[in-house]
Structure 1
Amino acid sequence: MEPGRVTGFLGPNGAGKTTTMRMMLGLDRPTRGEILVSGRPYVRFQEPLRQVGALLDPSAVHPGRRARDQLLVLARSNRIPDARVDELLDLVGLGAAARRRIGGFSLGMRQRLGLAAALLGDPQVLILDEPLNGLDAEGIQWVRGLLRDLADDGRVVLVASHLMNDMAVTADHLIIVGRGRLLADVSMTGFSARYGHGRVRLRTTRPERLGKALAADGFALTPVNGGAWEVPEARTEQVGAVAAREGVPLQELHLREDSLEEMFLRMTADSTEFAVAPGRAF
C-alpha cells in the first residue's frame, strides 16, 4: 500500500481479507511474519487513532450508547478534542442523530458512524472493510468521493469490497487474494491489460458472409444474446475494414471490454472456496 492512492482489497468469500485486516490491527496474530503500519506494529502506537483509522464491523458497538458518546469515548482516549466529534458527525450526516442510541440505527447509519470513528484522529492510514454495505445511493457516492479525496490528500487508503462496480471507479491499485494466497498486486490499468479481454460487438444483416471473411483473416464471429455478434481479440477498425471490403452492412460496431467483475471471476475461478453447485435454480 502506498500513499496517494486507493487500494482495493479483493478476494472471494473466505479468501482471508478480513483476517488480514484484523492482523494489521493486532486483533489476530499471524502464524509467522509480522505486519507493520508506518514502520511499526499497530499495538505499539500510544494514540492509534491518530495514526490509523479502521472500520471492520459497524455493529461492534454497544447498542445502548448514544452516537456522540461513542465517539467521545474514542476521542478522549486518544487526546482528540471534543469539537472533532461534532465535526465528524456533521461530515458523515449524523449531526441530527448525535444523541440517538445506536441500537436504533440502520446498517447505513452505523456505517456512517464507523467512518466517523475511523476519521476521528485525522489519520494517515485508513483500513476499511466493506464500507459501502447498507448505504443508499447518495451515501455510496459520498463515500466514493471521500475515499478519492483522502487518497489525493496523500493518505494510504485500503478498502476491502465485494462491490466490483464501485471498485472499478474508485480503486487505483488492486490486491487480490484467494485461499490465503496473494494472486495479484497490480495497478488497475495493469490488471486490465494483463487479465482483460476485448471483443468487438456488431450487428449485421449478412453474418454468414462477414463470418467467412473474418475467418480468412484469422478471426471468429460468434453469436451472442439479442441477435448481436462478437469477434474476440479484435479491434473495431479491423472488423470495420473487413466489412467494408466485403460490402457487408453494419448496424452496430463497438469495442466491448471485460468489466472488473468478469476479470476478477476469471482470475479467482480456482480460488473460490464457497462455490455454488452447478445446476438448475429453484
Structure 2
Amino acid sequence: MLQAIGLTSARHRGLPPAVDDLTFEAGPGCVTALLGPPGSGKTSALRLMLELEPGRGITYFRGRPLHRVAQPAREVGVLLGDVPGHPARTARGQLRMLCAAAGVAASRADDLLDAVGLVELGDQRIGTLSLGMDRRLALASALLADPHTLILDEPTEGLGAREAGWLHGMLRSHADQGGTVLYTTRDPKEAARLAGRVVTIEAGRLVADQGVADFSRTRLRPRVAVRSPHAARLAAIVSREARAARRSVEVVTEASSSRLSVYGSSCAEIGDAAFRHGLPVHQLADEVGDTASASGPRGDGRGADAGIGATGAEPEAAADSSEPSAHPVATSGGAALPPPIRRRPARGPLRPVRYELRRLFGVRTTTLIVAVSLVASAVLSVLLARDGRTPLPHVLAAWPSLLPLPPAALGAGLLGALSFGDEFRYPTLAAGRGTVPRRMGMLLAKLAVSAGVALLLALLVVLVSTESLRLVYGGDLARVPSNAVSLAVSWSGLTVGCAWAGLLAAGIFRVTAAGVAAVLAVPVLMVPLIQAVPKAPTARSMSGLPGRLRELAWPQWPHEADRWVLALVRVVAQPVGTALMLSLSVLVCAYLFTSLRGRVRW
C-alpha cells in the first residue's frame, strides 16, 4: 500500500507550486496510473514521494516513510528516466554492481537479464542499447532487490507498440503477485487499458480518483469520427434526427470544418442518415476520445471547438465523478500543515567494497590508465638511465625533474578523482540526489580500494622499469638499493597520497577535474611554498625516536619495526611528503565540513 498525503511542492520565485495538496492511494495487487497532461506535476509528485525534492506532505510505503525504511531498494523500485550508469559498462556489469549496492547475490543479475529478455545482450555496452532495451535494463535495475512497490515515470514514452505491450505485461505480472505499481502517463487510453485505478491530476491538484470502470465511463467515451465535405449539413441532420427520436447524441465540429465527432451514435446510424440525404462521406470510423478537458487533445490528436446543438442529457463532467480523498490534509484555514519533506543525502551501498571494486573495474578506463602509466614509466626509465647521472630511485620511479610527478602518481591521482564521478547514484533511488555519498562506509571503501590500486600500480611500475632496464642495458642497473625500505615507504606514500588527494578533492567539488588539480597542486604550489618558509637552525635531533615510541606503546612491537618508523618519519620530513600530508589534512577537514553542512541543510 502506498499512501501519499498532502504532497505540496516548495514555491520557487513566487510561482504556484507544481504539486498542491495532492492526496491519493495506490493499493497492492493493482496498477495505479497517475494521469495528467505535460506540466501537470506528475514527475514532481513522484520526486516528493521519494524525498528527492523539498516540500510538504508525507508518503507511506506499507506504513513507513521512505527515510524510515532500512533498505529502500528492497521496498521501492524506481524508474526515472534512463539507466544511471556509465555508457561503457556492460548491462551485466551494471546489474552486478547494483547487486553489491542492494546487498543481493550477484546471480540475481543473470536472473533479471533473463526476466527482461536481455540475456543475449548482457555483454553489450549500455551506450549502444536502443531505447527499448535501455528501458528493459532500467526496469531490471528497479526489480533487482525484489521490491514490493514499483514507481515509474512515463515508462512507455517513446516506445513502440510491441515494447509498450511487453512493459505493460511486466507491470501487471508484478501487481498480480501482490505488489504495488504506480506509474505516470499522459495517455488516457493507455491508462484505461493497463491500470486498475486512475488518479487524474491537473495543475498539481487532484481532479479524479477512480476505478478504471468509472474512469472509462466518465472520462472516455466512444465516438464516431466523420469526415464529409458537407459536415455542417450532416451535423444538423444528425442532431435533428436525434431530437426526433429522443436520443442523447452530441455532435462536435472539429478544428477542420469537414470533420465531426459524434457521441452517442454509431457508424451505421450516421451512414444511413448520410445516404438518405445524399451526402458524401469520406471517413466513418469508431474512436475513443478523452473528455478530461474540452480544449485538450482527443484520441485522434485534434483539438475540439464548441459543440453543435445536441439534445438529451449533457455529457457527464469528469470533475463531478471525483471520489473524496481518503486522507484529507488541510493546509490552510488554521489547520496543521503536513510535515515538511527534506531532501536527504543518498544512502551508501550495503556492500561498499564489493560495489567499489565492480565500479572501478567494470569499465575499460581503469585498465587504460594503468596501461598508459606503465608504458610511460618504462619509456622514461630507459631515457633517464641513458646518461647515467640520474639517481637509481628516480630511474625506477620514472620521475624526471621536468615532470611535477611521476606517471604512476598521476595515474593513481586520476583513478582517485574518477571515484567520485557522476556515476555514483544509489540504485533506482538517487536520481537527482547528488553524486557524493556521505556515508562513512562508502568513503572508507573508496579510500581502501584506491589505496590498493595505487600500491599495485606503484609495484608494477617498479617491476616494469626494472625489466625494461635489464632488457635494454643489461643487469647492471637492476639492483636493490641499500635504503630500499625507506624508498619503498616513500614511493608507496606518494602514490597512495596522490590517489587520496584526487579522491577527496573530487568528492568535495563533485568534479573530476578538481581531483586532478588537487594532485598537481602538491608539487606545483605546496612544495614551493614549504621550501620558501625560512628554516631555523636545527638545535635538537630526533635520534632514538623509535625507542621512545616503543616505551609509550602498550603492545611491544619488534625491533625490526624501528626501520619502518624511521623511514616514515624521513618521508614526512621531505618537502613533497610534508606538502602531501598538509594537503590531505585540509581535504579531509573540508570533506567533513561539507558532509556536516549537507546533513544540516537536507
> Shorter-chain TM-score category?
0.7 to 0.9
- Tell whether 2:69 aligns with 1:45: yes
Cα distance in 1, alignment partners of residues 224 and 128 from structure 2: 51
| One of 108, 113, 122 as aligned partner of 2:146 | 122
Aligned to 2:243: 215
Instruction: Give the 3-state SS of the residue equivalent to 1:34 in structure 2.
Output: strand
Is 2:225–2:287's contact at 8 Å kept on the other side of the alignment? no
Is 2:88–2:127's contact at 8 Å kept on the other side of the alignment? yes
Q: Which runs of 5+ in 2 are unaligned?
A: 1-25, 228-233, 278-283, 298-302, 306-602
Is 1:178–1:268's contact at 8 Å kept on the other side of the alignment? no
Aligned to 2:45: 20
Cα distance in 2, alignment partners of residues 126 and 89 from structure 1: 18
Offset from partner CA, 1:202-256 (integer Å, 9 cap, x none): 99xxx78876553334456858999998764x467xx79xx9xxx99xxxxx996
| One of 102, 107, 131 as aligned partner of 2:155 | 131
Cα distance in 2, alignment partners of residues 186 and 267 from structure 1: 22
Aligned to 2:30: 5
Instruction: Give the 3-state SS of the residue equivalent to 2:58 in structure 1.
Output: coil
Cα distance in 1, alignment partners of residues 261 and 158 from structure 2: 37
Cα distance in 2, alignment partners of residues 159 and 139 from structure 1: 16
CA, structure 1 residues 155+107, in 2 after alignment: closer, same or farther (shift >3 Å)? same
CA, structure 1 residues 62+258, in 2 after alignment: closer, same or farther (shift >3 Å)? same
Aligned to 2:191: 167
Identity among equivalent pairs (%): 37
Instruction: Give the 3-state SS of the residue equivalent to 1:8 in structure 2.
Output: strand
The amino acid of 2:244's aligned partner reads A
Instruction: Give the 3-state SS of the residue equivalent to 1:32 in structure 2.
Output: strand
Instruction: Give the 3-state SS of the residue equivalent to 1:98 in structure 2.
Output: coil
CA, structure 1 residues 266+99, in 2 after alignment: closer, same or farther (shift >3 Å)? same
| TM-superposed deviation, 1:266 | 3.6
Is 2:192–2:216's contact at 8 Å kept on the other side of the alignment? no
Is 1:129–1:159's contact at 8 Å kept on the other side of the alignment? yes
Is 1:221–1:229's contact at 8 Å kept on the other side of the alignment? no
The amino acid of 1:5's aligned partner reads C
Offset from partner CA, 1:163-195 (integer Å, 9 cap, x none): 444323111111111111111111121123333
| TM-superposed deviation, 1:199 | 5.6
Is 1:199–1:235's contact at 8 Å kept on the other side of the alignment? yes
CA, structure 1 residues 202+11, in 2 after alignment: closer, same or farther (shift >3 Å)? closer
| TM-superposed deviation, 1:56 | 0.6
Cα distance in 1, alignment partners of residues 45 and 196 from structure 2: 20
- Tell whether 2:291 aligns with 1:263: yes
Cα distance in 2, alignment partners of residues 166 and 211 from structure 1: 31
Aligned to 2:210: 186
Instruction: Give the 3-state SS of the residue equivalent to 2:292 in structure 1.
Output: helix
Instruction: Give the 3-state SS of the residue equivalent to 1:35 in structure 2.
Output: strand
The amino acid of 2:51's aligned partner reads G
CA, structure 1 residues 68+197, in 2 after alignment: closer, same or farther (shift >3 Å)? closer
The amino acid of 2:74's aligned partner reads R
Instruction: Give the 3-state SS of the residue equivalent to 2:56 in structure 1.
Output: coil
CA, structure 1 residues 3+226, in 2 after alignment: closer, same or farther (shift >3 Å)? same
Is 2:59–2:65's contact at 8 Å kept on the other side of the alignment? yes
| TM-superposed deviation, 1:7 | 0.7
The amino acid of 1:194's aligned partner reads T
CA, structure 1 residues 195+255, in 2 after alignment: closer, same or farther (shift >3 Å)? farther
| One of 146, 156, 178 as aligned partner of 2:170 | 146
CA, structure 1 residues 266+159, in 2 after alignment: closer, same or farther (shift >3 Å)? farther
TM-score normalised by L of structure 1: 0.75
- What is the aligned length? 259
Cα distance in 1, alignment partners of residues 163 and 222 from structure 2: 33
Instruction: Give the 3-state SS of the residue equivalent to 1:184 in structure 2.
Output: strand
Cα distance in 2, alignment partners of residues 166 and 193 from structure 1: 15
- Tell whether 2:183 aligns with 1:155: no
Is 1:111–1:133's contact at 8 Å kept on the other side of the alignment? no
CA, structure 1 residues 181+83, in 2 after alignment: closer, same or farther (shift >3 Å)? same
Is 2:83–2:137's contact at 8 Å kept on the other side of the alignment? no
Q: 1 or 2, which has the higher helix percentage?
A: 2
Instruction: Give the 3-state SS of the residue equivalent to 1:154 in structure 2.
Output: coil
Cα distance in 1, alignment partners of residues 76 and 224 from structure 2: 45
Instruction: Give the 3-state SS of the residue equivalent to 1:81 in structure 2.
Output: coil
Aligned to 2:101: 77
The amino acid of 2:30's aligned partner reads R
Cα distance in 2, alignment partners of residues 86 and 34 from structure 1: 36
Instruction: Give the 3-state SS of the residue equivalent to 2:84 in structure 1.
Output: coil
- Tell whether 2:110 aligns with 1:86: yes
Cα distance in 2, alignment partners of residues 101 and 255 from structure 1: 45
Instruction: Give the 3-state SS of the residue equivalent to 1:95 in structure 2.
Output: coil
Instruction: Give the 3-state SS of the residue equivalent to 1:127 in structure 2.
Output: strand
| TM-superposed deviation, 1:268 | 6.4
Aligned to 1:106: 130
Cα distance in 2, alignment partners of residues 2 and 124 from structure 1: 11
CA RMSD of aligned residues (A): 3.7
The amino acid of 1:215's aligned partner reads R
Cα distance in 2, alignment partners of residues 210 and 72 from structure 1: 64
Cα distance in 2, alignment partners of residues 67 and 137 from structure 1: 24
The amino acid of 1:85's aligned partner reads A
Q: Which runs of 5+ in 1 are unaligned?
A: 249-253, 270-275
The amino acid of 1:263's aligned partner reads T
Offset from partner CA, 1:106-143 (integer Å, 9 cap, x none): 22221111000111111111101111234343322211
Q: 1 or 2, which has the higher strand percentage?
A: 1
CA, structure 1 residues 213+170, in 2 after alignment: closer, same or farther (shift >3 Å)? closer
- Tell whether 2:78 aligns with 1:54: yes
- RCO higher in structure (CA 8 A, sep ≥6): 1
